[in-house]
Amino acid sequence: MPDQNEPDVPRPASRRRAIPEATVARLPVYLRCLVELAESRTATVSSERLADLAGVNAAKLRKDLSYLGSYGTRGVGYDVEFLLFQISRELGLTQDWPVVIVGIGNLGHALANYRGFTARGFRVVALVDADPNKVGEHVAGLHVRPLDELPAIVDDEGAAIGIIATPASAAQEVADRLVDAGVGSILNFAPSVISVPDGVSLRKVDLSIELQILSFYQQRRGTSAVG
């Protein structure tokens, strides 16, 4: 509640205090649990219960939430709707995020049709592919546009987030063009390490890496059971 500007904040430009990366990565999980609670007409929730739903330690949850402010009530818990709004706001989900998908193959198709998108502020505004045969095709109510329209897409539709769903060989090139066009955040599905300039956010989702990690632990389990 004493939300104002504290005197001895170290630096972080505008905000209260810097929120640790690990915490930021968990906020969406808490948000999802809160949405479910709200749907089941639950008014308040304790840190213990919410932590349980989110699959984390209760102390960690409280510490995470404390970075946003003191939004709980001692002896009671957290107001579901209120906390839900606070996290949404902190994550920037109270506004609309236009998204452009590059690479309309199998995965691009699936992503374009994914309903979980629009649910929370994200809106696919354009589909792009380098293949002239794909350009013009209709997918999920949009027509596929050529790669060199990226700048126009960013300027006109305001796309700030780009999703790369191309083959690995094209990923870096596409990333460069997205950055040049003015995209500030990239989500890379291509099985390839790509690099972006400072100031551009990059996250990756990599199916085969996940499988290989599972393989490691599965093998280990197997050998220790057999041997």
Partner DNA sequence: CCGACTTTGTGAATGCGTGCACGAGGCTCG
Partner DNA sequence: CGAGCCTCGTGCACGCATTCACAAAGTCGG
Residues in contact with DNA by CB under 7 A are 2, 20-23, 45-48, 56-60, 62-63, 65-66, 70-78
Q: Which does 46 bind (CB under 5 to 8 A by kind): DNA, a copy of itself, none?
A: DNA
Q: What is the 3-state secondary structure (H, E, C) of the chain?
A: CCCCCCCCCCCCCCCCCCCCHHHHHHHHHHHHHHHHHHHCCCCEECHHHHHHHHCCCHHHHHHHHHCCCCCEECCCEEEHHHHHHHHHHHHCCCCCEEEEEECCCHHHHHHHHCCHHHHCCEEEEEEECCCCCCCCCEECCEEEECHHHHHHHHHHHCCCEEEECCCHHHHHHHHHHHHHHCCCEEEECCCCCCCCCCCCEEEECCHHHHHHHHHHHHHHHHHHHHC
- Nearest residue (CB) to DNA, 3 versus 39: 3
- Nearest residue (CB) to a copy of itself, 41 versus 115: 115
Task: By CB under 8 A, tell whether 141 contacts a copy of itself.
Answer: no
- Nearest residue (CB) to DNA, 6 versus 39: 6
Q: Which does 73 bind (CB under 5 to 8 A by kind): a copy of itself, DNA, none?
A: DNA
By CB under 8 A, the residues from 22 to 81 that bind a copy of itself are 22, 24-25, 27-29, 31-33, 53-55
- Nearest residue (CB) to a copy of itself, 62 versus 204: 204
By CB under 8 A, the residues from 178 to 217 that bind a copy of itself are 184-187, 191-193, 195, 199, 201, 203, 205-217
Shortest spacing between CB 217 and a copy of itself, in angstroms: 5
Task: By CB under 8 A, tell whether 139 contacts a copy of itself.
Answer: no
